[in-house]
Amino acid sequence: MINLSRRKLILSGLAATAGASGLAVVARLSQKYGLVPPDHGGIYGLGETLTYASQRLLTRHSLAREFPHSRISPRPFPNEISPLTEEFKRLQGGRFADWRLSVDGLVAEPASFSIADLKSYPSRSHITELACEEGWSYIAEWTGVPLSHVLNLVGVHPEAKYVVYTSMEPDTWDSIDMADALHPQTFLCYGMNGGDLPVPHGGPLRMRLPRQVGYKNLKFITHLTVTDKLKGFGNGCGSVACEYGYAWYAGI
């Protein structure tokens, strides 16, 4: 763990060298302290590294803003109806009783969970904003089980660095680092505004991670893989979105 004074030192190092001409030094410092995001190789590589490194050093433990009930948006906007696959329709027809979330990778005991299993664990709620990169946003109350709870149940190996999550929507997956995976506001979310999570908003289960923008909050997730490297997942940059040019780390 990086302590506060060392954190300050690295940060001022990052800032000073970025302000001067030594961007290569930023890259080297970030590498040294494990602060390089998986999509650092692109045209904006150094920018992504600087954003991720400074946010990780400054805000690793900070919380996304929570709102009072009175601020819940009357008409939350779903940007997608449902994955219109036969398999999804079959599960939806059975009210998701046959639906499972499977968890594997660097864990002591791979497992799979029904929605009833997930609902039997301690549930948490927060009223937070979902902000799309396209400019719209809304506030809702999100309920779920903290991802950290499920990761503790399966026993994550110490070398784990990322959690990859996959949607039932074809070719849709993303990943987060362990700081976000273990963050108290990061939920496997099955509820919204007091009811079950509606299908248009990702029901029966979505990732809810209010410290990153909308597109990291994948809907219809059914599979988690804990890993120490993202090489081997798609082209290795950490998400499908990133393969289309969006940042892997999209902190707010």
Stretch that binds Mo ion, among 8-16, 93-101, 110-118, 128-136 (CB under 5 A): 128-136
| Residue 71 beta carbon to Mo ion: minimum distance, rounded to whole angstroms | 20
Confirm or reject binding of residue 131 to Mo ion (CB under 5 A).
no
Cβ-based nearer residue to ligand MTE, 85 or 152: 85
220 touches Mo ion by CB under 5 A: no
Q: Are strands 173-177 and 206-208 parallel, antiparallel or unpaired?
A: unpaired
Number of residues that bind Mo ion (CB under 5 A): 3
Helix or strand holding residue 90 (H, E): helix 86-93
Q: Is the dihedral of CA 206, 209, 214, 215 positive or negative?
A: negative
The whole-angstrom separation of Cα 2 and Cα 154 is 27
Amino acid identity of residue 86, one-letter, is E
Token pair, residue 75, equals 């008409």
- Residue whose CB is less far from ligand MTE, 54 or 167: 167
Residue nearest Mo ion by beta-carbon distance: 132
How far is residue 33's CA from residue 200's CA, in Å, rounded to a whole number? 40
| Residue whose CB is less far from ligand MTE, 49 or 96 | 96
Contact flag: residue 132 with Mo ion (CB under 5 A): yes
Query: Contact, 180 vs 186, CB < 8 A?
Result: yes
Would you say 91 or 250 has its CB closer to Mo ion? 250
Q: Which does 169 bind (CB under 5 to 8 A by kind): ligand MTE, Mo ion, none?
A: ligand MTE
